[in-house]
Chain A
């Protein structure tokens, strides 16, 4: 069958199940129910502290076929997923489903577990290029990987679509009774937002810490009433890997030009004004847009209501400069953000659900004015791909891309028109992650294209004298430079299912030949 973005999707996918096709970004709202939770209540006097991961694996009664979950605030410094999976592998368990909010190169041991059938399923909302992404592309995982968004995952957990047997929560500080925070200790990472739904809905919840502190471990991010066990290990993560590598404004002149045009377009469209809200990624060009927006805000004397997202020191500076009253933070990208979250009550955490869940009573993405997004590819319908490279190799997952695009009043993609030799504007993207109906504007160094749905913006940008072109013109300009790419061939094997934030299937990734 064809879904609403014209993708050919099977009705049933082996190892995934029956497919609910994507029907449109706003087709799936209404009355919802939340899953009920099964838990074991704790009597006064009971202890939660266990001596080792092995003891944990016994206590939680892990069995073949179960789902274990992890959060990725420790990013490429995370030791917890590997520690737990090694203990599971040692037990000879098999057919384990790993529901991780993010997977990084450090999680390479998963590849071996995939090949041995210890891990047969992976659900993930963020994955960086590396060995695990490559192994999924090559078809080593028995069942297709399930790609979600940051809002789609908590939606799946709350609705019962994704049931977690045991959640393992990396805890930079914890006490022996299960109170957890992310702001103190050698592996401090800031908010623990992506782990919140896991802590509430998993059958069993285990805090894994290298920093056991006296009761209570204030300021608490996840409270004791959700936690079954606490276990102490030598180290939960490497601080050098925890800090993200991409948190500086770009020095590339092309990136800076894009940023300048982008900020002018945001201003011309009328969004730089008092009470504005703003989110940008941590990539160099996105941060350069923030820098340009900051200049215009200062010139105009504008005070925004909030900045949101994965937060960098750059956004913290804007808060401290008085350019925004508040920050909503789902993930701290550097230590400046961690310190600000810990010390400044105006810098507030938001859970993954509060951030982007389409089926709660209103996520914060719904309050966003301006969202700056990246893209691996964008097509003539403004559909965006951030999952696969143009050769079909898995490079990433939605993260908050399709959540914020759906919520923001102005969803703006900023990208070089060509990356090396590869054109970014295509007739059809390789994989749809974010539907074009939720993307308003594309900004490149060679001009701006406005989604025909947004005539209002088109008129304002033209009136301001900005270089507005059609997206078809931008595609031609790109192909004039690069030449027309030869089409990539794929096998029929589906290696990943890409869910839209509401749980419908927006696309699948087939194994490239």
Chain B
């Protein structure tokens, strides 16, 4: 699947994550994750893994992702990534 435009899903509410996706002219997957320090320290790797897995599952090869997390759980993260990508293709 090819990302053709910028799109987003989610929000900055507590327990949600804002996913902003856009085409990546350099190719490949570029991911910027931001959250509270307390969450990054304990769950940063896990959140990144969930996002990358969802991207791979949807067959996307080239994408820029900016993720602003506010304590979302894995299923929320997956849903937001999926929605953002579907809006961007």
B43 near A389 with CB under 8 A, answer: no
A421 with B73: CB separation less than 8 A: yes
Contact B43 A482 (CB under 8 A): yes
B73 touches A481 (CB 8 A): yes
Task: Verify B41–A421 contact, CB threshold 8 A.
Answer: no
Tell me the complex Cα distance, A393–B39, Å: 12
CB of A485 closer than 8 Å to a CB of B? yes
CB pair B38 A483 closer than 8 Å: no
- B82 at interface by CB-CB < 8 Å: no
Say yes or no: is A422 at the interface (Cβ < 8 Å to chain B).
Answer: yes
Is there contact, CB below 8 Å, between B37 and A485? no
With A391-B37, A482-B73, A483-B74 as given contacts, are A420 and B42 in contact (CB-CB < 8 Å)?
Answer: no
On chain A, the residues within 8 Å of B72 by CB distance are 421
Interface size on A, residues (CB 8 A): 14
Nearest Cβ on chain B to A429's Cβ, whole angstroms: 14
Q: Judge whether A486 and B73 touch: CB under 8 Å.
A: no
Say whether, besides A481-B73, A482-B73, A420 and B39 are in contact (CB < 8 Å). yes
* Complex interface residues of chain A between 462 and 489 (CB less than 8 A to chain B): 481-483, 485-486, 488
| Chain B residue, CB-CB nearest to A484 | B46
What residue of chain B has the Cβ atom nearest to residue A395's Cβ? Answer: B38
Q: Which residues of A contact B46 (CB under 8 A)?
A: 483, 486
Interface: A209 (CB within 8 A): no
**Nearest CB on B from A82, distance (A):** 28
Nearest Cβ in chain B — how far from A215, in angstroms? 53
With beta carbons under 8 angstroms apart, the residue of B15, B41, B74 that contacts A420 is B15
Query: Is there contact, CB below 8 Å, between B42 and A486?
Result: yes
B24 within 8 Å of A (CB atoms): no
Residue of B nearest to A420 (CB): B71
The proximity string for B residues 18-39 relative to A, scoring 1 for CB distances below 8 Å and 0 otherwise, is 0000000000000000001111
Q: Looking across the interface, which residue of chain A has its beta carbon closest to that of B76? A: A421
Closest to A481 in B: B73
In chain A, residues 302-326, which have Cβ atoms closer than 8 Å to a Cβ of chain B? Answer: none
Question: Is the Cβ of A390 less than 8 Å from the Cβ of B70?
Answer: no
Q: Which residues of B contact A419 (CB under 8 A)?
A: 71
Cβ-closest chain B residue relative to A485: B42
> Is the beta-carbon distance between A421 and B71 smaller than 8 angstroms?
yes
CB-CB under 8 A from B70, the residues of chain A are: 420
With A420-B70, A422-B71 already in contact, the answer to whether A486 and B38 are too (CB < 8 A) is no
Establish whether residues A485 and B43, one from each chain, have CB atoms under 8 Å apart when the complex forms: yes
- A residues in contact with B39, CB < 8 Å: 420-422
- Shortest distance from the beta carbon of A379 to any chain B beta carbon, whole Å: 16
Which residues of B lie under 8 Å from residue A422 when comparing CB positions? Answer: 38-39, 42, 71
Sort A-B residue pairs by CB-CB distance and give the 6 closest, nearest first: A420-B71, A485-B42, A391-B38, A421-B71, A391-B41, A483-B46
**Contacts A389-B38, A390-B42, A486-B42 known; 13 new A-B pairs at CB < 8 A:** A391-B42, A393-B37, A419-B71, A420-B14, A420-B15, A420-B36, A420-B39, A421-B39, A422-B39, A422-B42, A482-B43, A483-B46, A488-B42
- 10 A-B residue pairs with Cβ-Cβ distance under 8 Å, sorted by A, are A391-B38, A420-B14, A420-B70, A421-B39, A422-B38, A422-B39, A481-B73, A483-B74, A486-B46, A488-B42
